[in-house]
Amino acid sequence: MLIKLTEVCNNGAVTTKQNYALREIFVNPEHVVMIREDSSLRKLNEQGRLLGNLDPQHRFSKLIINKGHTGTEIRVVGAPEIIENILNKKHTKELLRG
Does pLDDT of 49 surpass 70? yes
pLDDT at 12 exceeding the cut of 80:
no
* pLDDT for the residue 60: 95
Confidence at residue 62, expressed as pLDDT on a 0 to 100 scale? 96
The Cα–Cα gap between 5 and 27 comes to 7
Q: How confident is the model at residue 70 (pLDDT cuts 50, 70, 90)?
A: confident
Q: Given strand 71-77, what is the order of strands in its sheet?
A: 20-27, 3-10, 71-77, 60-66, 32-37
Residue 58, pLDDT above cutoff 80: yes
CB 34 within 8 A of CB 64: yes
pLDDT at residue 17 is higher than 80:
no
> How much is the pLDDT for 10?
83
